[in-house]
Amino acid sequence: MAGNKQLRLVLVTPEKTLRDEPVAEMRFPLYDGQMGVLPGRAPLVGRLGAGELYFTELSGTHRSYFIDGGFVQIKGEAVTILTNRAIPVESLNRQQAEEQLKQALARPAHNDLEIDARARDEQRARQMVALAGRSHTGA
């Protein structure tokens, strides 16, 4: 495994496989923090959070997607990301993300389950607002 010079990113949503290609490196949100992956990484299964999937193609081009939870499996050179939703960052609409954040902040929460759900929705919307507000050159 240490001899691998590349990773294979497989990005899957319930609708289809969005990416299946070699990449040089990547990072993505786990449920409890960020994780970066380079070739030769030990196997792993983890729970994804909401946030940015960032990767570098072998050509050196950087790409980003907003991903919304799911699971990641790293086995050999393959990094498989199974997520509920994956949106190219350049397709995010800042106004829609800000509206989702306003709705989450305004929603009343009266018990622990409602409080947790509202906090997850707020965090997801904040991530979308931050990513939509960034300048992406694709360099």
Full DSSP string of the chain: -TT---EEEEEE-SS-EEEEEEEEEEEEEETTEEEEE-TTPPPEEEEEEEEEEEEEETTS-EEEEEEEEEEEEEETTEEEEE-S-EEEGGG--HHHHHHHHHHHHHS---SHHHHHHHHHHHHHHHHHHHHHHS-----
Q: According to the model, what pLDDT value does residue 137 have? A: 40
Amino acid in position 36:
G
Does residue 102 have a pLDDT over 90?
A: yes
Task: Assess contact for 129 and 97: CB atoms under 8 A.
Answer: yes
Q: According to the model, what pLDDT value does residue 5 have? A: 75
Does residue 104 have a pLDDT over 50?
A: yes
41-78 residue pLDDT tens: 899 999 999 999 999 999 999 999 999 999 999 999 99
Does residue 87 have a pLDDT over 80?
A: yes
Q: How far apart are CA 88 and CA 133, in angstroms?
A: 13
114-132 residue pLDDT tens: 998 898 888 889 898 989 8
Task: Assess contact for 125 and 97: CB atoms under 8 A.
Answer: yes
The model carries a pTM of 0.82
Q: For the chain, what's the residue count?
A: 139
